Structure 1
Amino acid sequence: MNKIILFSIFLLCFEFGLYAQWNPETKDWTKNPLPQIGDWGFNHPDCPKGLYIHGVTAQEGESVNNPVIYDNDIVDDVLEDEWAFVMAALGNMNFQGYICTPVLTDGWGFYHPEWKQEFYDMRERALSSGIRQNLIPKVTIGTEAHTEKEAEGKLSEGAELYVKIINEQYSKNPAKPVIVNIGGQAATLASAWIIDNSISEKCIVYYTAISGYNGHYKWASELIAQHFRVINFGPELAWWHDTDCQNEWNVLPRPNDCGDKERNERNSGEWALLPDNELMNYFVHQLRYMPWYDATNKDDAHNFGNTSDGYFDGTFIHAWAPGLFTGAELYDTRKGKVLSINSFDPDVAKNATFPVLINPDAFAH
Structure 2
Amino acid sequence: MKMGMRGAAASVLILAMGATGTVMSQQPAAGAAAKETSALTSQREKVGYAIGMDVAKSFEPIADQIDIAALRRAVSNAFEGKQPLITQEEAQKTDQSLRMAMAVKAGQPVPGMAPGTPAPKVDREKVGLMLGSYAVGPSLAPLKDQVDLDALFDAVQTAFAKGTPKMTAEQAQATMEGFMAAQQAEMQAKAAAQGETNRRAGNDFMAKNKTVPGVVTTASGLQYQVIRPGSGERPLPTSKVKVHYEGKLLDGTVFDSSIQRGQPIEFGLDQVVKGWSEGVQLMPVGAKYRFWIPGELAYGEQGTPGGPIGPNATLTFDVELLGIAP
TM-score surpassing 0.5? Answer: no
| Normalised TM-score (structure 2) | 0.24
Greater C-alpha Rg: 2
| Normalised TM-score (structure 1) | 0.22
The structure with the greater share of residues assigned to helix is 2
